[in-house]
Amino acid sequence: MSTYTIPVGPLHVALEEPMYFKVEVSGETVVSVDITAGHVHRGVEYLLSKRTIFQNITLTERICSLCSNSHPEAYCMAIEQIAGVVVSPRGEYLRAVADEIKRIASHLFNVGIMAHLIGFESLFMHAMEIREIMQDVKETVFGNRMDIGANCIGGVRYDLDDDQRSWLLGQLDRLEPQIDELVGIYTTNRSILNRTQGIGVLSPAEAIEYAVAGPVARASGVAYDVRVKSPYTAYDKLTVEVPTRTAGDVWSRAMIRLSEVKISIGLLRRLIEDLPDGPTAPAERPEIPAGEAIAKCEAPRGELIYYVRTNGTNKPERVKWRVPSFMNWDALCTMLKGARISDIALIVNSIDPCISCTER
């Protein structure tokens, strides 16, 4: 049977950002996929080497919107290693609080968009309305709904007083039953199950071969979470549950994200209740000597790694990072093989694509 090639993207209704797939199809079935990337390449790595070490905290936050807290966090952790700065216990707990708040909002966005792609608009709006609780939390605590500016070198730039802590716990109490309801719908609704189960499969062996990260890896049986494997900030003081599934399909990835939302709510309660006293950040900016360091953190999409090299000047010599989506794109070619044309958007969304992050 003869095949022909159809374009998906670069501007596509199902993608918030531009990515161009050349999809070779035979009838209704995908035979192969070629990805042409680079539509939002901005040269941020180059720009980072032209700004000062401290200016770059603001710049790294703007690499991506949904994991905007993870970038400056990993960058600050790398600089702290070079400068020998130790973050105070309160600073570490507050960093983890910011991390988990962003994780919940990011995961809910992705599962919401999945409902939208299925055509289940009422569920999409319901999921986004639930997510709005976390958006309000961000706006109230940090003053902004996406770029929360929580991190600085040596700690955090925000603090929680007793009123804010009890208000935050109240918001989590409001959120949790709604998440339970959402999990129920995603577990039982026929429209969801029919459209998402058994499609976009990545086997456990393929997940290891492609070195995928985050919920994509965990939905294919790879129990890897940076918070557990190489703990940072306050995660060495917490027990982080790592949910895994083995089916490796679109539905499993969504369910992993929903499970992680539940786990994050639990972690947030512990962090807020056990918040130690003390300073949130050092009073003065440290001197940054020459050196190199690696820092990793678990962004909403998985392992984020930063490599920073300094030479004793006020500008970093090299900053390189790799986002979890970077490997997930290549794995997408395997997930899409044999899929129906109508499922392409759903499968692409299931890796929780982050294009600005990947192309930098």
HSE-up of residue 43 (Cα within 13 Å, Cβ side):
5
Site string for other proteins, 145-174 (x = CB under 8 A): ------------------------------
Return the range that interacts with other proteins (CB under 8 A); candidates 14-22, 163-171, 183-191, 291-299: 291-299
Task: Mention every residue, 6+ apart, whose C-beta is less than 8 A from residue 151.
Answer: 57, 61, 69, 72, 73, 76, 95, 98, 157
CA-CA distance, 310 to 312, in Å (whole number)? 6
- What residues between 69 and 88 interact with other proteins by CB under 8 A? 81
Return the range that interacts with other proteins (CB under 8 A); candidates 46-54, 95-103, 265-273, 280-288: 46-54
Q: Which H helix or E strand runs over 152?
A: strand 151-152
Examine residue 318 and tell whether it contacts other proteins (CB under 8 A): yes
HSE-up of residue 69 (Cα within 13 Å, Cβ side):
27
Examine residue 305 and tell whether it contacts other proteins (CB under 8 A): yes
- Which listed residue (11, 26, 27, 50) binds other proteins by CB under 8 A? 50
Site string for other proteins, 196-235 (x = CB under 8 A): ------------xxxx--------------x--xxxx---
Return the range that interacts with other proteins (CB under 8 A); candidates 58-66, 129-137, 241-249, 325-333: 325-333
CA-CA distance, 341 to 30, in Å (whole number)? 7
CA-CA distance, 152 to 150, in Å (whole number)? 7
Tokens 């109230």 label which residue? Answer: 140
- Which listed residue (133, 185, 242, 294) binds other proteins by CB under 8 A? 294
Q: In angstroms, what is the minimal distance from the CB of 313 to other proteins? A: 4
CB closer to other proteins out of 176 and 292: 292
- Which listed residue (62, 126, 285, 322) binds other proteins by CB under 8 A? 322
Pairing of strands 290-299, 151-152: unpaired
Q: In angstroms, what is the minimal distance from the CB of 214 to other proteins? A: 13
- Which listed residue (41, 58, 184, 246) binds other proteins by CB under 8 A? 41
Q: In angstroms, what is the minimal distance from the CB of 91 to other proteins? A: 14
Examine residue 359 and tell whether it contacts other proteins (CB under 8 A): yes
CB closer to other proteins out of 182 and 327: 327
CA-CA distance, 344 to 74, in Å (whole number)? 33
Task: Mention every residue, 6+ apart, whose C-beta is less than 8 A from residue 301.
Answer: 67, 106, 213, 214, 215, 216, 323, 324, 325, 328, 352, 354, 357
How far, in whole angstroms, is CA 177 from its chain's centroid? 23
Examine residue 311 and tell whether it contacts other proteins (CB under 8 A): yes
How far, in whole angstroms, is CA 203 from its chain's centroid? 22
Q: Catalogue the E-assigned strands of 126-241.
A: 151-152, 155-156
Closest CA to 45 of 321, 252, 348: 321
- The residues binding other proteins (CB under 8 A) are 37-38, 41, 43, 45-47, 50, 81, 208-211, 226, 229-232, 236, 289-292, 294, 296, 303, 305, 307, 309, 311-315, 317-318, 320, 322, 326-327, 329-330, 359-360
